């Protein structure tokens, strides 16, 4: 029982997320304070992606790009398989799930892969780490373009979503430009960034908490919890679990069917099945500026915790089989 609890108990970041949602519910910011928080959050997001760009080794990009079949499969799982799975839940829209929560499920399915945790789990499992670095980073960069365009196809103007092409420009300015600037300055910043790994982790998590607080505070003021039945919240957890339960075994089967070895299968499974909360929340902030942002990011938050727990167990199993 102790071993199972150690695997299933929430990590500190998840507890911080729950605390942030509670704080936003009890003490939401409004008026001038909310606008000031919004501007500060934009600055924090730009800083986060600048640091991500400075940390990405160019050697890993060059080495990883040579493995094009692996990257093509991961991108297909991330931006084709998941959106199709999201559409399969359409019968739940307006019945078990509120329209805003179903829009959040579609948004979850259109998101790019995580970077840091995908690399960490690949390393823990004994997989191809350079390929994971390149695949996860490529997915994150392409997500700036593909996620808004996919949402335009999947949801149209539902939920107050901004025009996809306009959103791509705004997201590029907020995420991609700082990322490229950080990467170009890497020769001068690399050593400092490597010594400050904890800073990047805290910047990553702190930025997500800021956006979640602002999003939920605004949504609570607009009646989020009053308009969202308990059954719909439970349905979000169930849908997230079903998505992960289909994706991970399915992606594993695809990797083996296509002849990938164990070292390459591992990054395919982790990068192909994970969805980025750190990238998703800033994109949602731009894409759904006029919508119910709190309800839309809720499925991403739930899936985030589930994927961490399940991927940790899968990574340990891969590691045990290798010894």
Q: Is residue 162 over pLDDT 80?
A: no
Range 85-109 average pLDDT: 91
Q: Is residue 168 over pLDDT 60?
A: yes
Rounded CA gap, 268 and 13, in Å? 25
Looking at the chain, the whole-number percentage of residues with pLDDT higher than 70 is 84
Least confident residue range of 3-17, 96-110, 121-135, 224-238: 3-17
Find, among 270, 245, 252, 239, the residue nearest to 106 by Cα: 239
What is the per-residue pLDDT for 29?
77
Rounded CA gap, 136 and 119, in Å? 8
- Confidence bin at 7 (pLDDT 50/70/90): low
Rounded CA gap, 16 and 234, in Å? 21
Do 131 and 64 form a contact (C-beta atoms < 8 A)?
yes
Range 168-193 average pLDDT: 80
- Confidence bin at 247 (pLDDT 50/70/90): very high
Distance (Å) of CA 315 to CA 160, 309, 319: 39, 10, 6
Distance (Å) of CA 250 to CA 70, 90, 254, 272, 275: 15, 21, 6, 10, 16
122-156 pLDDT per residue, tens: 888 888 877 887 888 888 888 888 999 999 888 87
Range 14-24 average pLDDT: 80
Q: Is residue 193 over pLDDT 80?
A: no
Average pLDDT along the chain: 82
């Amino acid at each position: 029982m102790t071993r199972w609890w150690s695997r299933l108990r929430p990590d500190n970041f998840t507890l911080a997320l729950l605390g942030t949602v509670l704080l936003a519910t009890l003490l939401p910011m409004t008026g001038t304070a909310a606008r000031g928080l919004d501007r500060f959050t934009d600055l924090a997001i730009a800083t986060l992606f600048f640091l991500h760009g400075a940390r990405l080794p160019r050697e890993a990009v060059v080495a990883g790009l040579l493995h094009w079949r692996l990257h093509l499969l991961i991108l297909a799982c991330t931006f084709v398989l998941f959106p199709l799975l999201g559409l399969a839940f359409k019968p739940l829209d307006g019945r078990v799930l509120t329209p805003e929560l179903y829009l959040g499920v579609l948004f979850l399915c259109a998101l790019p892969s995580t970077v840091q945790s995908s690399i960490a789990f690949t390393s823990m499992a004994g997989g191809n780490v350079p390929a994971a670095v390149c695949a996860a980073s490529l997915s994150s960069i392409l997500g700036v373009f593909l996620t808004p365009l996919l949402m335009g196809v999947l949801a149209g103007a539902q939920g107050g979503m901004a025009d996809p092409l306009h959103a791509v420009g705004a997201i590029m300015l907020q995420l991609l430009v700082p990322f490229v600037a950080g990467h170009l300055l890497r020769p001068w910043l690399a050593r400092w960034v490597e010594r400050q790994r904890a800073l990047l982790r805290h910047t990553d998590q702190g930025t997500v908490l800021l956006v979640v607080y602002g999003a939920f505070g605004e949504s609570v003021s607009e009646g989020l919890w009053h308009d969202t039945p308990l059954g719909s919240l439970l349905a979000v957890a169930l849908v997230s679990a079903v998505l992960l339960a289909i994706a991970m075994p399915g992606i594993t089967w695809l990797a083996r069917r296509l002849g990938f070895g164990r070292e390459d299968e591992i990054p395919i499974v982790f990068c192909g099945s994970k969805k980025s909360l750190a990238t998703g929340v800033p994109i949602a902030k731009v894409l759904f500026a006029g919508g119910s942002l709190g309800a839309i990011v809720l499925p991403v938050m739930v899936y985030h915790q589930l994927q961490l727990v399940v991927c940790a167990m899968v990574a340990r199993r891969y590691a045990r089989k290798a010894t």
